[in-house]
Amino acid sequence: MKIRKHSTKHIHDVMTEVSYEEIKATTLAALAKDEKDIAFQTLRSALHYGSDAMTGETETFADAMTVFTRVAEQFGNEEFASKVQTAAEKPEDVQSLYDLGYALYEESLFGVAASVLARADKIAPGEPGIVSELVCALESEGLNQEAVRTLNRYPNLASEHYLFSYLLSFNSLMAGDLAASRAASESLVGLETEDAHPFMTARITELLKRAKQVESVCPLDENDLRGWHYVISGSILTMLSPHGYPAPMKGRYAYLQDTVENCKQGLENLQQIIAAKQLQPERIYALPGRDSGILAIAASIMLDLPVQPWPEGGSDLPAIIVAYDLGEVDINPESIAQHRPGQLLYSHAVQWTFALPIAPDVTTLLHQMLIAPWGERTGFDAETNQITTHEADSRDATTIANDIVAATIEVPEVTPADEAPPSLTTEFLTAIGQFPATTTAREQIWTCSPVKSSKFS
């Protein structure tokens, strides 16, 4: 199965202030036209964390849940719709709110889950089960600072229970507060009571260790995507998007029709890392799929190494393991989960709005939506003023790979409002020390980060 694990569905960062009554009317109108998707997306803008409908009067909340019930019923999930209806009928019943919040989290509706669980917390302040679910929902929605505020309201939870101490350390780091994260981490070992706790403590230790490595060469502020990407995933991000830099994208791509020039730039950056870290790979392994196969052939030409498919059971041999977009690779994740001496996992692209169980060691770029250079593409015909579609490139993989190798890299154009993002530096590569790691499991790709970017709904 593909590595991709969960779709984290977000509301766009920039929301127009519209009253609940207007949103309700538009939602009901969409339902009357059997436009359930439009109805859901419309109503969702009234259900996000901190919205008036979710934090205001009980009557308004109950009404919003009643409308939500009608929307949920259109999607055929009777059990879920029943939980929404129960919350509408019992808007001050803590158990009903908790059950709905839990169900919303399971549906990856993290912001709505946080809204419902925050109401439960207001009714029953500091109840451990509610607080833990609320913090996890806030974390998954990328609201790490709000998660920290929630935990700090109940300091006894973090001082007495491992889970809350861990959540405080983790979310403090994801909010960019390393001092608070270090302070909370000091009590972790003494609170360990379960088999999973040492693993969780080790994760925090590694995160803080990586922060220590780069804090002298990186600002680690709200704009430092490369620095924080390394801290939280253990992965080197080699290319930052110049579009909307530093704000609102901060180095991430939203929608990108990729180019062979980007692919070549990524491979040249990979060569820089291999040389700086004195790696001696003996081969290129191509992960499954046409996209990864094309890029692996290009890598084999540029690095002058033989290329072969990644063995189904994995391999211990020194190699560069190549993927075009790791989240789209159909593979058993366990075969690439562990670092092995002399191996480096390279993915040209990673989708930053999805959680992945495995982070590549090196990534060229982060995207939300991506079209490969050889995929079906859209364009604009200035003469006809029409959107055009270009068929996917059906040439063989080696021919396309040679296009990558022959590509000429040019400095991308940026608008006057944008700045040129920083390049990967020798100082950064020196600061991180041994790379990749040789004995630990690879970290995962998180949907949260101290660096926030705008995103599509």
pLDDT at position 440, please?
A: 81
Please, are residues 129 and 105 in contact by the beta-carbon 8 Å criterion? no
Per-residue pLDDT of the chain (457 residues), as tens digits, is: 355 433 333 333 334 468 999 999 999 999 999 999 999 999 999 999 999 999 999 999 999 999 999 999 999 989 999 999 999 999 999 999 999 999 999 999 999 999 999 999 999 999 999 999 999 999 999 999 999 999 999 999 999 999 999 999 999 999 999 999 999 999 999 999 999 999 999 999 999 999 999 999 999 999 999 999 999 999 999 999 999 999 999 999 999 999 999 999 999 999 999 999 999 999 999 999 999 999 999 999 999 999 999 998 899 999 999 999 999 999 999 999 999 999 999 999 999 998 999 999 999 999 999 999 999 988 877 777 788 889 999 999 999 999 999 999 987 666 666 688 999 999 999 999 999 987 689 999 999 999 999 887 6
Token digits of residue 25: 């009317």
Round to whole Å and give the CA distance between 322 and 336: 11
The H or E element containing residue 309 is strand 307-309
**CB neighbours (10 Å) of residue 106?**
10
Distance CA 263, CA 349 (A): 9
Task: Find, among 70, 58, 131, the residue nearest to 101 by Cα.
Answer: 131
CA distances from 12 to 45, 259, 345, 419 (A): 9, 26, 32, 23
SS3 sequence, 368-400? CEEECCCCCEEEEECCCCEEEEECCCCCCHHHH
In sequence order, the 6+-apart residues with CB closer than 8 A to the CB of 40 are: 71, 75
C-alpha dist (Å) from residue 52 to 5, 46, 64, 135, 156: 32, 7, 10, 20, 30
Residues 218 and 427: their CA atoms lie apart, in Å, by: 10
pLDDT, position 9: 32
Structure confidence at residue 3 (pLDDT): 53
Structural domains of the chain, with CATH: 6-212 (1.25.40.10), 220-431 (3.40.50)
pLDDT score for 120: 98
Q: pLDDT at position 413, please?
A: 67
One-letter amino acid for residue 136 of the chain: C
* Amino acid (one-letter) located at 430: T
Nearest one of 273, 363, 312, 289 to 297, comparing CA atoms: 289
Enter the pTM of the model: 0.91
In terms of DSSP H, where are the helices of 15-152? 20-32, 36-47, 52-55, 58-73, 78-89, 94-106, 110-123, 128-140, 144-152
